Structure 1
């Protein structure tokens, strides 16, 4: 084994225990991506592939899972007693449901994708945003509308189902706010993130 491969293996072992842990702070995009260099690489890849800005990716994930890889809805209850199944099949960073994730894998051919893998989750979000743009005309920079289509599905968004859900509109405004904040932060640290990413092996 070459010295480079040995160093990569050591890094991988050292980081394996914390790779999926949430970032220390979700308030700063610069802090998140400085701490999670592999996340920056994955998000940058999606930005190039799907033209979905990194700040929109982060805003959606923050709302959906607070950057927890194994986030899941609560379990159903009967007379206050938790049952085995959950109220939804949503899971992982992007909170994608079983059927939507299967649709994504079928359309992209990414059959090995896992919802608790950050790179796969942001690729899913990038792909979904492209469908939203193509079928609904939603700009990929419009975090508010992208989130509504993400939450309600393309048919639901087209039918304006969100208009009967004031709470959801409020959530979408939060996503828009997160996105704007992250965009401003990234403007000040993007070059630093980019220059420090080349040597990061993951």
Structure 2
């Protein structure tokens, strides 16, 4: 009996831990087309986005629009698996992962430069801070305004070097995606103006006056 208990205890612990982690995963917002509804559903996301705005000087609607395009706000998003002959898996298109779809090499660069060695790509606060860092660096390296969602997305997708070389000019589909990101960012910005005063208020005010 004692031997069986010793063997099953680690399995029980692992199962419990997996259930705990999955239970803590934040589901994507129900209405991703409206930034006010996104932040009303996930109030802590607004706090994290506001911190990024204050820290990196990045307007909230830009990284939120890019994040929607990259992951649809799914914490564990990753590129689809590639298949050989239709049934043999041979890896994914890239190492992109998480809310921001940051590639491992770029994420490691962020972790080192921003001194955030505890950061995780499937944590919203960390992912949007990464995006603030990236957008800020795109301005510094390529002179792209932090408010320019169109060119910021092209930087984000192609990398700083690729954008500088104009690699996106040969990708008509990517230019169309960047236009969608820019349009969504404009909508998000307009929506945020109508609800940000309420989002800034604390839970105590909302409890008694909302």
Give the TM-score normalised by structure 1: 0.88
User: What is the distance in 2 between the residues matched to 1:198 and 1:141?
Assistant: 33
* SS state at 1:72 partner: coil
For residues 109 and 100 of structure 1, the distance between their equivalents in structure 2, rounded to whole angstroms, comes to 14
Instruction: Please name the residue that 2:82 is paired with.
Output: 76
Does the 8 A contact of 2:136 with 2:146 survive in 1? Answer: yes
Q: Matched residues in 2 for 1:29 and 1:101: separation?
A: 26
Partner residue of 1:123 out of 129, 148, 154: 129
Equivalent residue runs for 1:83-162 within 5 Å: 83=89, 85-162=91-168
Relative distance call for 1:184 and 1:39 in structure 2 (3 A) is same
- Cα distance in 2 for residues equivalent to 1:159 and 1:55: 27
Normalising by structure 2, report the TM-score.
0.84
- The corresponding residue for 1:166 is 172
- Which of 168, 175, 178 is 2:181 aligned to? 175
Matched, 1:187 2:171: no
- Given the superposition, is the C-alpha separation of residues 100 and 142 from structure 1 closer, same or farther in structure 2, using an over 3 Å criterion? same
Count of residues paired in the alignment: 185
Deviation by residue 1:19-40 (Cα, 9 ceiling, x = unmatched) = 5110111010000001101111
Compared CA separation, residues 171 and 198, structure 1 to 2 (3 A): farther
* Runs of 5+ consecutive residues of structure 1 not aligned to the other structure: 1-15
Q: 1 CA distance for matches of 2:92 and 2:204?
A: 41
Distance 1:136 1:107 in 2: 18
3-state SS of 1:30 partner: helix
Q: CA RMSD in A?
A: 1.6
Instruction: Work out the CA distance in 1 between the residues paired with 2:80 and 2:24.
Output: 24
CA contact (8 A) 2:100 2:131 kept: yes
Q: Distance in 2 between matches of 1:54 and 1:85?
A: 34
